[in-house]
Each structure stands twice: as structure tokens, then as C-alpha cells.
Structure 1
Amino acid sequence: MCASTDRQTVLVSVLLVALTALAGVALYPRLPAEMAIHFSASGTPDNFVSKAVAVALLPTIMLATLCIIEVAMRTDPPDDPRTAAVVTVATTALMAAVHGLILAWNLGYPVPFDLVLLGVAVWTVGVCGYAIRREGLSLG
């Protein structure tokens, strides 16, 4: 695992990764052999992989993303350490939510993709807005 200046942030993020992986393992017997993992904006699946790959893929990407964020925060640390913590945990949580939605869709539950896209947009504005405000950045 990547080293971090904020062990609590990494601990929370790794816990989210573990819970995400455990959800996939717990639901594994109920999941179809081929799973949709990518969808068009209208909610139509356009990429399928085996169940094993689908269950492992996003937790693996989450760990890689956590390492990339950690390296980025060490390379160019924010002025306010809370910015790094919020961005790290919020990103991990978003990816966990996406994994949950993928599992739900593949189990046959309706996933309202218009609301998913809206949620991702709100998340983006919220996290970016938080970082900009915390860091006192000017957009002009």
C-alpha cells in the first residue's frame, strides 16, 4: 500500500475498498456469468466481462486510484490537509457506489441512469468546489 501523511484517510479509503470487494464476493453466487460493466448514457450496457473480472475490477481500480491520489498529494500537497482527505475519501466512496450500482443492475434491480449521471455531476461539482474553496483558488 502507498505511504500516506494521513493514515486515517487511507484507512477509511481501504475500508471502503474492502467493503466493496466483500459486497462482490457475497453476491458472487447470485451474479450472472457475464456481467455488464459499462453503460451508455441511456443505460444500455455496452461492455461485458466475466463475473470474476467484474467483481474484482473496480476494487482493484480503487486501490490503484488511491495510490495515484496519494502520490499526487505528496508531489503537490494542498495547503489545507483536509482537502486531501476529502478528495481521497470522496473519490473512493464514489467508486464504491458505482460498483454497487453495477452489482445491482446485474442482479436485475432497476438502476435509474439519469439519476446516476446527475449524482456524479453533483459529486463532481461538490468535490471540486470544496477543493477550490479550501485552497483559496481563483478561477479567473
Structure 2
Amino acid sequence: MTTLALLATALLFGGMTLYSFGFAGFLFRALPAETAGPTIRRAFPGFYLFVIATAGFGAAIMWHVDELSALILAAIAVTTIPTRQLLMPAINDATDAGAKKRFIVLHSLSVVITLSHIVGSAVVLSRFASI
């Protein structure tokens, strides 16, 4: 069970890191903004479902290994739900309305949330060193 928990957490950390720093950046470097924007908008719902499912699964199997790590993963899963359901549509609405200041504030919030999720999963991975 410990190996499965480690793999789930590693998948979560790697997936979030690759998506945030690799895929999103690549799209905006490789495609014109008018193509990259709608493409990334279509990809985000799936990204958030990946985070919710992977963190939730990790939390469930981690519970018997390390309760604090399980709570961190559960917090990642739970806080991703309003990010996907409320924040992401608000960011899209701000973009569609041309509300640049609102977009910057909302997008910055989503970046902070995602970075905190990446840090949280890194903390869980680092806790494996002491198990």
C-alpha cells in the first residue's frame, strides 16, 4: 500500500508540475495567443479532474500510512473542486468580458492555489523519506 501511495503522490506532483510549467507554457510559446487561449481553456477541466481524482485516491490509500499526508492530499482534492467549478468559470468570464484587471486577480489566485497544491504534494513526497 505504501508503494501505491508513493506512486499516486508522485503522479500528482509530476502531473501538476508538468501541466503548469511545461504544457501551459509550451502552448503559449508554440501557438498564437488566439489559439493557445481557447486550447488551454479546454484542457483545464480535465486537469482539475486529474488533480481531484489523483489527490483523492492518494488520500484514501495514504490514510493507513501517514494521516498528515492523507490530510494534505485530501485538502488538495477538496480545494480543487471550487477552483474547477467556480474560479475557472470566473476566469473565463473575465477573459470573455475583456476585464483585464479582474482576470489578473482571478488568474493570480488560481496560480497561488496550484502552486500551493504542488508544494503540498512535494511535502507529502518528502515525508516518504521518513517512513
Q: Which has the higher helix share?
A: 2
> Rg bigger for which structure?
1
Which TM-score applies when normalising by structure 1?
A: 0.41
Q: Which has the higher strand share?
A: 1
